[in-house]
């Protein structure tokens, strides 16, 4: 089967991986620039990108970082009766300020990340919606107090490019690890919100499309986007269907470290190639990480060899994801990104 002239495959070829690295480095990089760096035409890059999206392998979205707006991020671990866990995960995935919704392999636990924009939204979820949900039997909330930057963002394909190509693209670390925002929380206008809503659906939306959505000129749209990115309010993220990239295991790590070793361990965990996210938190465990492995044997080596080599870890729990319902922004099907949310299909 082909999609837009490209053979349907569950594993990316070398050019696909190089294009993915370029997009990880700069999600809004012009295709002409990326093509020039990789030595292919702009049309080839555009065609490959459309194929990756069409096959449900990747999705680019613009996201709001609530920290510069005066809010915080939370990792939630919810207990449920096994017969209601699926419904709980599906309900959480529909909430706009909730991301990374996963049903754990235990079958009775759901995890998610809450990104409330205001204290009122935080309290509504943690103190009202979830405690009253009949599916929820246990709620553990971990406030994310420090995000460890990755040396290179997952899937870490930078090694497929030459040193000259990597230099031309720039750094591939796009983490929003504890950005320094404005002195005072920023207020967003209705036009700002319209732009952010559009970018959440398509992080590569053109300035002309943004202008049509907001009533601004394309020049003003570009300037305002740059201002929000500079302030740390807006950032761009890539969602991946890891199964279609040759990876079978996604897992969460719940680590307890000695306080004096927390930063060193977190920094080391963030440097491992399998690590997609690592953060220090409040709660019973003080370090959480999300990892991606080829298979269970790879997961075993990660735990025994990589984690086992670190001093300062006193306890670790590994919880593989049975199914992911939502990533940073994209809803997930069985093994691919659902480009159109199920509730919006006609």
pLDDT tens across 100-136, in order? 999 999 889 999 999 998 889 899 999 999 999 989 9
Q: How far apart are CA 239 and CA 176, in angstroms?
A: 15
The pLDDT tens digits for 129-161 are: 999 998 999 999 999 999 999 989 999 999 999
- In a 3-state reduction of DSSP, which class is residue 200? helix
> Does residue 15 register a pLDDT over 80?
yes
Give CA separation, 101 vs 6, 113, 186, 193, 329, in Å.
31, 7, 28, 24, 10
3 state SS of 23 = helix
* Domain ranges across the chain: 2-59+156-171, 247-322
User: What tokens does 106 get?
Assistant: 């235990």
The tokens describing 140, both together, are 């553990």
Query: What is 60-115 written as a DSSP string?
Result: EEEEE-SGGGT--EEEEEEEE-TTTHHHHHHHHHTSTTEEEEEEETTSSEEEEEE-
CA proximity to 270, closest of 245, 297, 290, 240: 290
Q: Has residue 280 got a pLDDT over 90?
A: yes
Determine whether domain 247-322 maps to CATH 3.90.245.10.
no
Summarised one tens digit per residue, pLDDT across range 201-214 is 999 999 999 999 99
Query: Is the predicted pLDDT of residue 7 greater than 90, yes or no?
Result: no
**Residue 236: what pLDDT?**
94
Is the pLDDT score of 179 beyond 80?
A: no
d(CA 329, CA 240): 11
The pLDDT value recorded for residue 128 is 92
Of 16-20, 140-144, 179-183, 298-302, least confident by mean pLDDT is 179-183
Residue 93's nearest CA partner among 329, 290, 308 is 329
Q: What pLDDT shows up at residue 186?
A: 74
What integer pLDDT is reported at residue 181 of this predicted model?
Answer: 52
pLDDT at 183: 59
pLDDT band at residue 177, thresholds of 50, 70 and 90?
very low
pLDDT at 282: 97
CB burial of residue 201 (10 Å; 0-12, 13-18, 19+): middle
Strands 287-293 and 275-281: antiparallel
Higher pLDDT, residue 178 or 328: 328
What pLDDT is attached to residue 71?
82
Compute the mean pLDDT over every residue in the chain, rounded to the nearest whole number. Answer: 90
Is residue 155 reached through a cis peptide bond, with omega within 30 degrees of 0 on the bond before it?
yes
pLDDT at residue 325 in the model: 96
How many C-alpha atoms does 328 have within 13 Å on its Cβ side? Answer: 24
Q: Flag whether pLDDT at 345 surpasses 70.
A: no
pLDDT at 255: 98
DSSP readout, 287-341?
EEEEEEESSHHHHHHIIIIIGGG-TTEEEEEEEEEEEEEE-SS-EE-SSSEESS-
d(CA 251, CA 62): 25
């Amino acid at each position: 089967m082909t999609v837009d002239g490209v053979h349907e495959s569950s594993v990316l070829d070398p050019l696909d991986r190089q294009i993915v690295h370029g997009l990880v480095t700069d999600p809004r990089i012009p295709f002409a620039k990326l093509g020039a760096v990789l030595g292919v035409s702009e049309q080839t890059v555009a065609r490959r990108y459309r194929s990756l999206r069409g096959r449900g392998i990747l999705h680019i979205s613009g996201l709001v970082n609530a920290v510069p707006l005066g809010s915080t991020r939370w990792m939630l671990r919810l207990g449920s009766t096994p017969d209601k866990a699926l419904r709980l995960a599906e309900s959480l995935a529909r909430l706009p300020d909730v991301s990374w919704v996963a049903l754990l392999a235990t079958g009775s636990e759901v995890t998610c990340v809450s990104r409330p924009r205001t204290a009122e939204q935080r309290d509504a979820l943690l103190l009202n919606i979830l405690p009253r949900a009949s599916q929820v039997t246990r709620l553990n909330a971990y406030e994310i107090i420090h995000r460890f930057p990755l040396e290179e963002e997952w899937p870490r394909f930078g090694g497929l490019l030459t040193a000259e190509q990597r230099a031309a693209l720039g750094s591939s670390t796009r983490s929003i690890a504890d950005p320094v925002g404005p002195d005072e929380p920023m207020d967003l206008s209705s036009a700002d919100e319209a732009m952010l809503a559009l970018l959440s659906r398509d992080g590569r939306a053109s300035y002309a499309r943004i202008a049509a959505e907001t009533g601004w000129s394309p020049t003003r749209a570009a300037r305002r986007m740059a201002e929000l990115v500079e302030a740390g309010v807006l950032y761009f993220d890539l969602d991946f269907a890891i199964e279609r990239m040759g990876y079978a295991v996604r897992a969460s790590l719940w680590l307890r470290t000695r306080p004096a070793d927390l930063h060193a361990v977190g920094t080391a965990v963030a440097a491992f190639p399998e690590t997609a996210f690592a953060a220090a938190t409040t709660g019973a465990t003080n370090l959480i990480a999300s990892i991606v492995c080829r298979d269970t044997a790879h997961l075993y080596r990660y735990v025994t060899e990589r984690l086992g080599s670190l001093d300062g870890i006193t306890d670790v729990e590994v919880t593989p994801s049975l199914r992911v319902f939502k990533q940073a922004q994209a809803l997930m099907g069985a093994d691919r990104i659902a480009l159109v949310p199920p509730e919006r299909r006609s």
